[in-house]
Amino acid sequence: MPASPVFPFMPGGAADGASLPSGAVMLTDLTGSLRFGLKGGGSAGWLASRGVPLPAVNRIESWRGARVLRLGNDDILLLAEDADNALAELAGNWHGAIEPKGYSSWREEGWAWLRLSGPRAPSAMERLCALDLRADRFGTEDIAQTRVGHIEAVTFRSQAGFDVLFDITASAYFARMVTAAARHCTDLPIDTEGRT
Amino acid sequence: MKILTCPMNGPRNIDEFQSFGPVRAEPDPDMTADADWSRHLFRAENRRGMVVEWWRHVPSNYFFLAERDLVTNEIIRTFDASERRAQS
């Protein structure tokens, strides 16, 4: 299987030649998955009026198979891996609404969404992020807005490891950072050539 | 590593923050003498004591206030801007 290129791949662009590591530390690109972010006055109220449960800031709630991430009082991001219909319906309602509803934070265009997994993912994360992200300190419903691999990022736990959201223009840089961190923390093979 | 406690995100490396300078009075330009207005625009304070400053946690784009000792550089406390509005 060929190594996964970094999304969005553009010949001659910064990501040209960059690929995602696999093996003991693995990156999976979820950037193409549906997500919907609202920001600004009225966004929390509008979502609540549509029955979306709003957690405390920096916490995660579930809604119809999607995850609701509260990044600020009026900064909310919904992620769908398996809830495309619910999220598409909500986004459609928002576009048609005229009441105070915040504004689109354009997360589906502006942010990359990568999943760090593999048996040595926690060790790699220790090298990428200064926060204490051990399971007893950082639970499945917690969010950390911090730096991961020296870039501003939002991270939280997934079943496989850690999900990381960050500026999409840094995708290739992030993939290379993770590969370098992985090679420093394990003797197990880390591949970017598609051999594993 | 120097640590600053963000009211929203908790203790973080100060590298994650950006300083926006002291909270300043906002005089009405129509009601202020030219000399005082000029001082407001072009003169910066350089005194000892406590200062309340604007800071931003960059990854979350959250602006808040920090009270700092100008002599020891110690951060006394950090707090949400709504607390200042509630006091004024």
Question: How many cross-chain Cβ pairs, A to B, lie less than 8 Å apart?
Answer: 29
Alpha carbon distance A58, B72 (integer Å): 32
Contact B65, B84 (CB under 8 A): yes
Q: Is A56 on the interface with B (CB under 8 A)?
A: no
Greater model confidence, A99 or A169: A169
For chain B, which ranges sit under pLDDT 50?
none
Greater model confidence, A188 or B68: B68
pLDDT band at A2 (very low <50, low <70, confident <90, very high): low
pLDDT reported for residue A194: 61
Domain extents for chain A? 22-32+111-191, 35-107
Q: Taking 90 as the threshold, does the pLDDT of residue A44 lie above it?
A: yes
- When the candidates are 3.40.50.2300, 1.10.10.10, 3.30.2270.10, 1.10.300.10, the CATH number that belongs to B3-87 is 3.30.2270.10
pLDDT band at A118 (very low <50, low <70, confident <90, very high): very high
Question: How near does any CA of chain B get to the CA of A153, in Å?
Answer: 6
Q: What is the pTM of this model?
A: 0.89
Count of helices and strands (H, E) across chain A: 5, 12
ipTM of the complex: 0.86
Lowest mean pLDDT among A5-9, A64-68, A129-133, A161-165: A5-9
CA proximity to B57, closest of B19, B24, B21: B19
pLDDT reported for residue B68: 96
Residue A32: exposure state from Cβ atoms within 10 A (0-12, 13-18, ≥19): exposed
Q: Is A142 on the interface with B (CB under 8 A)?
A: no
Q: Is A83 on the interface with B (CB under 8 A)?
A: no
- Averaged over A126-142, what is the pLDDT? 95
Q: Which residue among B9, B13, B58 places its CB closest to the CB of A130?
A: B13
pLDDT reported for residue A1: 53
Q: Does domain A22-32+111-191 have CATH number 3.30.1360.120?
A: yes
- In chain B, residues with a C-beta closer than 8 Å to the C-beta of A170 are none
- In chain A, residues with a C-beta closer than 8 Å to the C-beta of B1 are 130
